[in-house]
Amino acid sequence: MHPLFHLGMRIGPEWRRRVAAVGWVAVALPSFVVFVVHSVAFSLMGPVRDESPMRAVKGTVESWKRDVRHDGNATHSVTYVAYRYDFRGQPFLGTETTTNYRYQNEGGRKYEAERTAWQPERNEILRPGDEVTVYVDEASPGRSSLHPPQARVRFLTLARAVSAALAGILLSWLAWIYYHEPVEILVAAPSRAEAIAGVALGVEPVPAGFPGEEVKVAPEVAVIGRGEGTTRIDFPGSAAPTFRLSGLFPPVLLLAILVAWADPPEFATMKPGNLAIYAAIALVLWFIARPMTYGRAGRSLWIRGGVMDVVRSGVFVRGRKRLARNQIDRIESRWALSELSRFGESAYFDLVAVLGNGRRVILAEGLPRVEVADTLARLVAREIGLAPEQARSAEEARRRDLAIAHDALARERPSTRDPA
């Protein structure tokens, strides 16, 4: 289900509880500290004085200069920026000065103070033509500044305080659940990788056969109907793995770290560093959403005259794929997902059609028992007109992969043997 995130960590309940404790101390607790700091800063700002409305416009740097003076362990720097901007069709010129004082004693501790609210990046060097955001007084367009007005600073401070409080509460709640009910989701590796790993661990292929008896399929797993030469099998997805909130703690913890890593005022800018953070956040969100949708998309199989239509009707995925009998090499069931929690271990299986060109088409996801998946594999193969040996159980498919891996390894060993 997550081939790129095949975590499969059997670290045990004790280590998962340590992850919950360390994650809370390292991320959730600092969130409450950030909330307290910004709340105090917000209360000390006082009410917003009557100010003319300030509008943000785009400007360009005209000149940039930084004077640095060293006095023992103290460093005093003054940055001058001249910029141009247009407001209501008229050009204007503005200036901004930033004073920075830094002191480092012999023990290595640093003291640094900013004298203005506007702070470019510490080592940023502006060049003529660089784009900056200018805040213009609408009543007097010649009055401008590169630092936001007090109302905006107050809003950002309050937003940071509220966001930190909500993040701390959410992470504390998830950490508490994860600590008491650690959930581990194990995802199946690709069949070749699983077979190679099995051979490396000394697993020997043994004959595996299909059980002869039919297993009754519950209606919440699949509904089978026949009429007018057509067989319809509906998979409602109601028997899919249950979603547990405790499994959200690790990815949400990573998401909180990524968001905190980005500077909130600069988060909306399209800088290369922020673009990388956007991609990482999107990846984490996908990782969170994917298990929620596994097995829940409704699927239907319409089989008539040796042709099968695979219909998907999920929220994120919709479509129809038609497969003819001569295109299908075999129908097999495979293990796809296991979930470990205090309720025990539950395994789920997928029903797959393997085509003659090697491609795989998923017919059903999240089947709750291997016996059910094997029975449905035999049923679909029979309805579409395949031979009995073209329906393979999960155990038989695994044994076949192991046999292929053993044969390939046996052929390679003579060629890699040292001639000496």
Helices 394-416 & 191-200 angle (0-180, nearest 10)? 60
In tens digits, what is the pLDDT along the chain, a chain of 420 residues? 333 333 434 556 777 788 889 989 988 898 898 889 888 887 877 665 555 567 888 889 888 888 888 777 677 788 888 999 998 888 898 888 877 766 665 444 444 443 333 344 444 677 888 888 888 887 788 888 887 666 666 777 788 888 889 989 999 998 898 888 777 666 666 666 666 666 666 766 666 555 555 678 888 888 999 888 899 999 987 777 776 777 778 888 878 877 776 655 455 555 666 677 778 888 877 777 776 777 777 889 999 999 999 998 766 567 889 999 999 999 999 888 777 766 677 888 899 999 998 899 999 988 888 889 999 999 999 999 999 889 988 888 888 888 877 777 777 666 555 554
What confidence score (pLDDT) does residue 251 get? 80
What confidence score (pLDDT) does residue 105 get? 53
What confidence score (pLDDT) does residue 268 get? 53
What confidence score (pLDDT) does residue 199 get? 66
Q: How far apart are CA 134 and CA 132, in angstroms?
A: 6
At position 370, the amino acid (one-letter code) is: V
What confidence score (pLDDT) does residue 38 get? 83
Q: What is the DSSP letter of 330?
A: E
What confidence score (pLDDT) does residue 2 get? 36
Beta strands 391-392 and 328-341 are parallel
Ramachandran quadrant class, 229 (left: phi over 0; alpha: psi -120 to 50; beta: rest): left
CB neighbour list of residue 258: distance below 8 Å, 6 or more residues apart = 277, 280, 281, 284
What confidence score (pLDDT) does residue 103 get? 60
What confidence score (pLDDT) does residue 119 get? 43
Q: Buried b / exposed e across 18-57, counting CB within 10 Å, b at 16+?
A: ebbeebbeebbeebbebbeebbeebeeeeeeeeeeebeeb
